[in-house]
Amino acid sequence: MTSDSPRGCGRAFVVALLVMAGIIDMLDAEESGYAVWPHAVVLLLGFAALLWPARRRPEWLTPQLRTGAPAVASLAVTAGSLLLTRQALFGPGEVAVLLGLLFSAVRHCPQPWAVVCGVLNGAALLGTPARFYQDDTSNLLGFMMVALVLIGLVAGPAAFLRTQDYRRAVAVVETRRAERVAIAADLHDFVAHHVTGILVQTQMARMMASSQPENLDTVLAGIERAATEALASMRRTVGVLRDTGPDAADRRPVGDLAGIAELTDGFASPVQHVALDRDPAVPDDLPHEVQAAAFRVVQEALTNVRRHAADATAITVRLRYVGRRLEVGVTDDGRGGTQLPAAAHGGGFGLVGLSERVTALGGDLRAGPPTGHTQGWEVRALFPTEKA
């Protein structure tokens, strides 16, 4: 920050005003025959607290020490004047310093020091007129009323700015948390889907190595494709983590209705048939967030088929559009058989996150046995849309 910048010029102007006010205090005390050194101590402590550059402050010079020490010194001067029944002056320099310290204490001191240091500075400011008007009650009360008004005018904006700082900090924390949750959902939805496919197809390749070696190349190609897609998803997600630009969130791995067809084609295997039943009435221009959520529903449902219903032979993915609602359903005929290791079964977080995603869009998610069937499983989601 250069000295000729608006902020630098403003700071220089404030410093000049404080110094001039302090000089007025010192000259007034000297000309009136009062002791100068008590005022000098208060002013020096106050100037050091207010004008010491933040980058050069030692660690021990905490906000509570900077704002509290000058106030205690001012109160000590006032107390000494009253105890010795000797008049002492108060001037614009000390008033300006105490008001500046009051603002700094209320806004920057940690709790509960903000209250303690704020009260100390307020009490010091209210007590300064008592040094001179010890026997003049009317003038004393008048100056104290002015001091109360000044305290309110300074402490009020400082408290407001402190509240704004707190709200901003909370908003930043919540935003970062939401981004972490979203990225975790991306990793789960995309990478876990592909890795689960790799695991299933690897088991299939081991079984086919001796019985159907002529079909082994197709399975290995599927493993290669799933691994490539998993690496691509991870690269996109890591790219979002590294990028702090405004467009980073827009480049998170997402999907749409067109991607559901690719998802079902890539899921099919020699022992599992996947059929996509898309109603022609389903438009292609649904809201992006609805399409992305529908994609995630299908992705999570297919991943769970691999994990929990590896014996399923027929899987149906349905897309229906009725009125203003999009229906997404995935049904399988499995009986719950699986040969995956226990560590690959998942912890149930996928459906929990999926339910939160669907509910956030005003939709409804259901998972359970298909209506009217004794076996199989169905995941069904309904999304409201803006289409008429």
- How sure is the predictor about 386, in pLDDT bands with cuts at 50, 70 and 90? low
Q: Is the pLDDT of residue 388 over 50?
A: no
Domain residue ranges in the chain: 6-135, 256-388
- The reply to whether CATH 3.40.190.10 applies to domain 256-388 is no
Q: What's the pLDDT at 186?
A: 63
C-alpha to C-alpha distances, 303 to 65, 268, 317, 334, 366, nearest whole angstrom: 59, 12, 13, 13, 16
Q: Is the pLDDT of residue 244 over 70?
A: no
- How sure is the predictor about 387, in pLDDT bands with cuts at 50, 70 and 90? very low
- Mean pLDDT over 88-101 rounds to 83
Express each pLDDT in 337-370 by its tens digit. 655 554 444 545 567 777 877 888 888 888 888 8
- Mean pLDDT over 179-203 rounds to 66
Express each pLDDT in 298-339 by its tens digit. 888 888 887 777 778 888 999 998 777 899 999 988 876 655
With contact defined as beta carbons under 8 Å apart, do 70 and 38 qualify?
no
Q: What's the pLDDT at 32?
A: 67
Between the ranges 149-158, 195-204, 298-307, 349-358, where is the mean pLDDT highest? 149-158
Distance of CA 364 to the CA centre of its chain: 27
Sign of CA dihedral 40, 41, 46, 48: positive
Distance (Å, rounded) from C-alpha 282 to C-alpha 327?
A: 10
- Mean pLDDT over 275-296 rounds to 85
Express each pLDDT in 35-58 by its tens digit. 778 878 888 888 888 888 878 888
